[in-house]
Structure 1
Amino acid sequence: MSTHPPSPAHFDFIVIGGGSGGYAAARTAHALGLSVAVIDGAEELAGLCILRGCMPSKTLIESADRNLSIRRAAEFGLQAQAQGADIRAIRDRKRTLIADFASYRQKQLEDGRFALYRGFASFIDPHTVEVQPRDDSATFQVTGKTFCIATGSVPSVPPIPGLAETGFWTSDDVLDTDTLPESFAVLGGGAIALEMAHYLEGVGRKVTVIQRSDQFFSGLDPECSAVIEKAYTHRGITCHLGTSIHKVTAGEGDGKKHISYRHGDTERTLSVDQILVALGRSAATDGLNLEAAQVGLTKKKITIRPTMQSSQPHIFAAGDVCSPLDVVHIAIQQGEIAARNAHRLIQGQPVEEEMDYRLLLFGVFSHPQVAAVGASETDLKEAGTPYVSASYPFDDHGKSMCMGETEGFVKMLAHRQTGEILGATCVGPHATELIHEVVIAMHYRAKVQEFMMIPHYHPTLSEIWTYPAEECAEAVIPGECEPDIRPDLSPGSGAQC
């Protein structure tokens, strides 16, 4: 690790941010023979996914999933009773696992392949950044032929009157606390909100979800929202959609937090022990002084081309700071493409490799889980793509009935004239695993006529996909095809997963 740069401090490729996308860019650039520097000012190395995102949240959710199974023991003829959750033990297990993951990533960043600077970067001009070390020692400058900005994201906090004064938690607080208050209001209706609501209720807390939109997962089909709302309500989670929060106030003497909001035509006040703000995340672009580098933004996200180039061609970006979907596998792909294209730019070759968002993949570890890949029906309609669709419910599927996990459905979308699979949605047991069968099929541009012929073992959850595939295949109308019209899922298109 470096605190101050070697002389001269000039590199082929400078990565700002050492998370999953940044590390992918750095290792790829090094493998191509570029000299690489990584600048990271975070308190801990490893990035959001490992420290405060994917891995810690799923570790906690595993505990909630098992507690739900214990609560349902009698349904399966078993004698067991939930005795409560040891939040400290859950937290300690998470810390042990995350420490292992994080230390491995730290070793990768410090193994000598890159110059690693522990500090905060700010552009002075398009080829120079000033670094403020974390230890508050003197600033210094480094220059680069090319850059990749991969600074990730930070929690979004809405400007609700009284919220800041009253106090609130974000998912960061939930993930590392050793105690939990008895009641929560979860603000939001996306992945973070519904995963945290599942965890909190799963370990015995009273939860109310307050969502501004009329549905959960505003970019997905409304049926997904309906299934989750029904399932959560059945568990005892109160779901208020289509709301408008007026203010938040602190209780006098009772330690409660009071939320005043409109739900439909009704004015309500909810009193809870804690408020969890889970309204997504925003790109971490503050402090980078992107104006000096002439890098354009769309809202707070860096505007990028499919080549991962910003408005400044030698400055690339990857991950949450620019992505149409803030998930780690996309950040890694983007980082790798950015590095390869930076290498081409330095070599004087055409910068031509583009990010393919055709397989845009999304998953939520709620209960039931939610997963989607490719285009939605809205995307296809907006693009004018002729398509057929079919769905099948888990409550009529043998294996899910045996499991007692019957909430949800699978849906498949295919081109009406060719039968090529264009998208799929799964809401139900192990949805985040089941979706990959369709991802693989779409990767090879399989048609529903081919998919329905693939043998599936019985009884398994995965065989449920054969039913919508067969129905879609029957609806395909072969003939003279129109030009292949596909939905545009690139950043800025307006399409969402």
Structure 2
Amino acid sequence: MEPLFDVAVIGGGSAGFAAARTAAAFGARTALIDGSERLGGLCILAGCMPTKALLEASRRWHAIGEAGLFGLEAQPIRADFPAILARTQRLVSEFAADRQKELTEGKFQLIRAHASFLNPHQVELTYHDGQKSILRAKAFVVATGSRISHPPLPELREIGFWDSNTVLEQKELPESLIVLGGGPVAVEYAQFFARLGVGVRLVQRGAHLLKRFDSDLALVLEESFREEGIELWTSSSLISADWCGEQKRLRLVQRGAIQDLVAREIFLATGRTPALERLHLPAAGIESHPRAPAVDSEMRTRAPHIFAAGDVVGIEEVVHIAVLQGEAAGENAAREATGAGGPFRSLDYRLTMEIVFTEPQVARLGLTEAGAHLAGRPVLVARYPFADHGKSLLMGATKGFVKLLADPASGELLGAGIAGPEASELIHELLALLSVRATAGDLARLPHYHPTLSEILTYPAEEIDRQVACSQRPGSSPLPPKPPDP
């Protein structure tokens, strides 16, 4: 008889590993099934880690170019693209090796095969040598991640393109590059290549970059890109793609006018889609709607014993959310399979956060202004620019601002956005405050060392606290206005 597990997790990326580890910790006999050629998952192999390694190289190269602003004279140096890639690949290999060790030495059974549902409690396993077997489980967690979306033009397959999977295989920099897309992957790679001297044009369908961010944050990045020489072709729709001599040509329409863009290479970064092709979910009683299996707050699909987590559900495609979803799915699957008592774990997206590691960095947390508008929810909003902040002036990093969103009645912090230096670090102070439902007044009264970047967070908090005090507490003593920054 085929082996029986309490929980079978399909997919060994960030969400799947978190699910298997958690289910096993709850005492469930757990299998983790992963048939990919290389273990590690998107974040380690082609996502977070390689992109940030590349961006760090280009950031340091750019900083050397600005050395004169600080009274420093740099000797002539050059950017060695193969060496940059070699360092990135070495780091990726080290991270992947660590994850592989965790997967093989975990308190669960790792099975190197592809899984396809035969019915709600059985999957067919297909191994790399073509052999097959059947596995049964009381509960499942689907965590197969995502794949790069199909090209928006079929001709792109004929002329070829780079993407986040193939970029690390390249040997030399192209003279020119067209980047398709306006999300985090697109903008991070666009800046990386532009800072190494590649002529970059970025083509985006929407009116602004970073559609999940408020447009005022996106505008800061757009202005910086233009100053660095990156051409932005927003509000553009693709028509065709072909060869133009030894270069590749894209035809697009922008605000009614047809334009031709020519470059040596094209980088496809138009998004990802849930990886569902092998799973045969209908056999398990699950329909994908519209592209991903629907889940509730417990990460449970329409089949009560099957859970899903990570990019495959398409809710928030960032790794820390995938881990949280995986942990919830793994715990709940273990409870479902073993009949353990206690409440099922539920996920709260109130603290959703996303960060883009360009320069300036861009970060969002919780409620956005656009989201508040769509929900018809009144909010107080206050901003403060880095150009008026002492530490940013010392650093020579004055682009951007911080903004806070708060409840008009209570002053409770509801959301935040940062475009500027170290946004990826600053946003975490606000995350801690939102997690305990702190108010703008609470933040304004927290002592902050001077001079630090984090001081800037208190200034919009003071403004909101004054507004709340004036409107809701007549006769009280709101915080005095901020003194000039020395």
Structure 1 length-normalised TM: 0.92
Aligned to 1:259: 250
Report the residue type matching 2:144 in the other structure: T
1:385/1:415 contact within 8 Å kept:
no
Matches within 5 A, 1:72-471: 72-80=66-74, 83-111=77-105, 113-136=107-130, 138-252=131-245, 255-348=246-339, 349=341, 352-471=344-463
Check the 8 A contact 1:120/1:132 in 2, yes or no. yes
Cα distance change on mapping 1:173 and 1:180 into 2, 3 Å: farther
Distance in 2 (CA, whole Å) between partners of 1:27 and 1:478 is 51
1:392–1:464 contact (8 Å) kept in structure 2: yes
Going from structure 1 to structure 2, the CA distance change for 1:480 and 1:459 (only over 3 Å counts) comes to closer
1:42 deviates by 0.9
- Farther-moved stretch of structure 1 (154-163 vs 353-362): 154-163
Match for 1:49 among 38, 43, 51? 43
Q: Note the C-alpha offset of 1:198.
A: 1.1
- Name the SS of the counterpart of 1:285 in structure 2: coil
CA RMSD, 1 decimal: 1.6
SS at match of 2:350: coil
Secondary structure of 1:298 counterpart: coil
Identity of aligned residues (%): 44
Unpaired segments ≥5 residues, structure 1? 1-6, 482-497
- Give CA deviations for 1:65-115 in whole Å, capped at 9, x if unaligned: 001101111111111156331111111111211111111111111115222
Q: Is the 8 A contact 1:212 1:243 kept in 2?
A: yes
What's the offset of the Cα at 1:419? 0.9
Could you list the structure 1 runs, at least 4 aligned residues long, displaced by more than 4 angstroms after superposition.
477-481
Write the deviation string for residues 44-82 of structure 1: whole angstroms up to 9, x where unpaired.
111111111101110111000001101111111111156
> Partners in 1 of 2:108 and 2:133 — Cα distance?
18
- Measure the CA separation in 2 of the matches of 1:202 and 1:368: 13
Per the alignment, residue 59 of structure 1 pairs with: 53
Per-residue Cα deviation, 1:396-429 (whole angstroms, up to 9, x for no partner): 1111111111111111000111111000000011
Report SS of the residue matched to 2:110: strand
* Deviation (angstroms), 1:477: 5.7
Partner Cα separation in structure 1 for residue 330 and residue 237 of structure 2: 44
Letter in 1 for 2:214: D
Aligned residues: 472
Q: What is the letter of the counterpart of residue 156 of structure 2?
A: L
Q: Is the 8 A contact 1:412 1:425 kept in 2?
A: yes
Alignment partner of 1:148: what SS?
A: strand
User: How many angstroms apart in 2 are the aligned matches of 1:230 and 1:81?
Assistant: 30
Letter in 1 for 2:399: E
CA distance in 1, matches of 2:331, 2:11: 18
SS at match of 2:358: coil
Distance 2:400 2:162 in 1: 31
Deviation at 1:351, TM superposition (A): 5.7
Q: 1:346 Cα shift?
A: 2.6
Q: 1:37 corresponds to which residue?
A: 31
Q: 1:488 is matched with which residue?
A: none
Give the structure-2-normalised TM-score.
0.94
- Secondary structure, in 3 states, of the residue corresponding to 2:170? coil
Report the Cα distance in structure 2 between the residues aligned to 1:454 and 1:115, rounded to whole angstroms. 48
Structure 2: distance between partners of 1:299 and 1:247: 27
Higher alpha-carbon deviation: 291-300 or 311-320: 291-300
- 8 Å CA contact 1:17–1:38 kept in 2: the answer is yes
